[in-house]
Amino acid sequence: MKDVRWLLISEILYTLIVIATCLRIIYDTRSTTKTLAYLMLTVFLPVAGIIIYFCVGTNYRKRKLYSKKIIKDEQVQLKITDQIYAESRKIWATVPPEIEKYRKLARLLLNDGLSYLSGNNKVELLLNGEHKFEEVIRALKLARNHIHIEYYIFEDDHIGNTIKNILIRKAKEGVAVRLIYDDFGSRSIRSKIVPELIEAGVQAFPFYKILFVALANRLNYRNHRKIIVIDGCVGFTGGINVSDRYINAKNTNSGQQQTSSQEKQVYWRDTHVKITGSGVYYLQYLFICDWNFCADEELAPDPDFFCEPEEHSGSSIVQIAASGPDSDNPTILFSLIQLIGMSEKEILITTPYFIPGESLLDALVVAALSGVKVILLVPGESDSAMVAAAARSYYMELMTAGVEIYQYQKGFIHAKTMVSDQQISVIGTANMDNRSFELNFEVNCIVYDGKVAADMSATFYQDLKDSKKIDSEDWEKRPLYRQFPEKVARLLSPLL
């Protein structure tokens, strides 16, 4: 009798927990699709569904992980805000007519993230790790005041140790070196590289330290940014982490041979960008915000952090889009939708993970049906079977609207880029999926420059030569046993 009573009490308690969780999901989740997915998971997957929701589904945009305000004085904050708007208006008044049509995009980023337009920047495209690290190492060695580095993946391998040694040497020379690393993505450096850096005088902190008590939630919210700022005037960002896997050359930057396992690795195609000029200021701002969240000290804005760029350093106008659980809106998603909507002739997209969600999917379909040439380049082979299956479930709908889809065959394509009408380019860290738009801390660089866009476009079409176009008729005729797992994965796509 007692067993029956306890069973009844347990069932009542569990029912109440399920009801409470469902109410929390309905109240807390903005997307209808995600709401239904989490409700189904909670109801039809006993206990585990509730655990999964509280691990990965909680809306931290409503409960910001930290404040991005680094200036406490309200009057000073308002003065700087006015200066940012004035600087953006001044730059916009001098832009060429062909860039004028992107005013709405610039205003969106200015209003939503206080990301101002910066002119006279020199922007250099860095294709693949062998080119990126060559430039990074050269710039690090020239540092005189400070080096700020923030990475999702920083590995204990050849290139990781090469950069570690440079950071140690610069710290001993009196350069202030600060490192933020994601505690999940950079877990290989915790026990060796980080202690060596700290011992040499480098300040190093995990962005969001993983504790067993809150393991799953802290794994869910990752700092996916890749940022380097040197002396306040030179910056790097893009898709390339600090890892040997991104380097395709047989020799590393120091001239030493890679191991045989590295030589046999898959070809890794990625894109990064180097910025010289005031376009670096917002990258610096993001770093200071992230530093003040994770470090033991509060880093106040210093004039040395925002140096005066060399006059006529370049001709590119740069704006930074950043978002994460700390932002009011999915700014990066909004910026991509806005850019797609303003495109008139051509949209070239490269992404390794493509789970667009309804709003981005609709934007691409509308653009294609409106006569805009839309080409999507994705990996031929993915490193995530579930994500790849979910991505494939969107292909037919896109191709029916006229979108061309290519699968990269040479290796793994990891670049996250977009080019619109050969006039504006996006190079960054954000994939086209729910994790990048809602859960990760991400950053994209937007370049208003026809020459850079032309170079990006040429690179894209070169990548298409190493890719295979999906034939829509053959794709539609695929057997049901291949399509069914993709449909299931799409149902779960809000959770991926």
Higher pLDDT, 266 or 11: 266
82 in active site: no
Residue 153 CA from chain centroid, whole number: 12
Q: Is 277 left (phi over 0), alpha (psi -120 to 50) or beta?
A: left
CATH superfamily of 331-495: Endonuclease Chain A (3.30.870.10)
Contact between 430 and 437 (Cβ < 8 Å): yes
The rounded percent of the chain whose pLDDT value lies above 70 is 85
Range from 67-76, 122-131, 401-410, 452-461 carrying the lowest mean pLDDT: 67-76
End-to-end, the C-alpha distance of the chain in Å comes to 44
DSSP state letters, 181-247: E-TTTTGGGTTTHHHHHHHTT-EEEESS---GGGHHHHHHS-B---EEEETTTEEEEES--BSGGG-
- pLDDT category of residue 446 using cuts at 50, 70 and 90: very high
- pLDDT category of residue 56 using cuts at 50, 70 and 90: low
414 in active site: yes
226 in active site: yes
Q: In the prediction, which pLDDT does 222 show?
A: 86
Selecting among 28, 157, 183, 231, the annotated active-site residue is 231
Q: Among the residues of 93-211, which ranges form H helices?
A: 97-100, 103-113, 129-141, 158-172, 193-199
| Residue 302 φ then ψ, to 5° | -125, 140
Is residue 9's pLDDT more than 80? no
**Which sequence spans correspond to the domains of the chain?**
2-56, 122-312, 331-495
433 in active site: no
Q: pLDDT for 408-427, tens place per residue?
A: 999 999 999 999 999 999 99
Is residue 31's pLDDT more than 80? no
CA distance to 273, 285, 382, 418, per residue, from 268 (Å): 16, 30, 12, 18
* Topology classification of domain 122-312: Endonuclease; Chain A (3.30.870)
Q: pLDDT for 339-374, tens place per residue?
A: 999 999 999 999 999 999 889 999 999 999 999 999
Selecting among 68, 122, 416, 463, the annotated active-site residue is 416
Higher pLDDT, 81 or 285: 285
Is residue 257's pLDDT more than 50? no
Q: In the prediction, which pLDDT does 219 show?
A: 56
Distance between CA atoms of residues 494 and 356, nearest Å: 10
Selecting among 226, 244, 272, 449, the annotated active-site residue is 226
Is 331-495 in the same CATH topology as 122-312?
Answer: yes
Q: What is the largest CA-CA distance in the chain?
A: 86
**Can you tell me the mean pLDDT for 96-102?**
79
Tokens of 54: 């509280």
Q: 3-state DSSP call for residue 257?
A: strand
Selecting among 244, 290, 421, 449, the annotated active-site residue is 421
The rounded percent of the chain whose pLDDT value lies above 90 is 55
Distance between CA atoms of residues 356 and 270, nearest Å: 20
224 in active site: yes
Selecting among 157, 414, 433, 463, the annotated active-site residue is 414
Is residue 278's pLDDT more than 50? yes
Selecting among 148, 224, 272, 274, the annotated active-site residue is 224
| Dihedral angle, C-alpha 348, 351, 354, 360, nearest 10 ° | -40
272 in active site: no
Is residue 25's pLDDT more than 90? no
Is residue 73's pLDDT more than 70? no
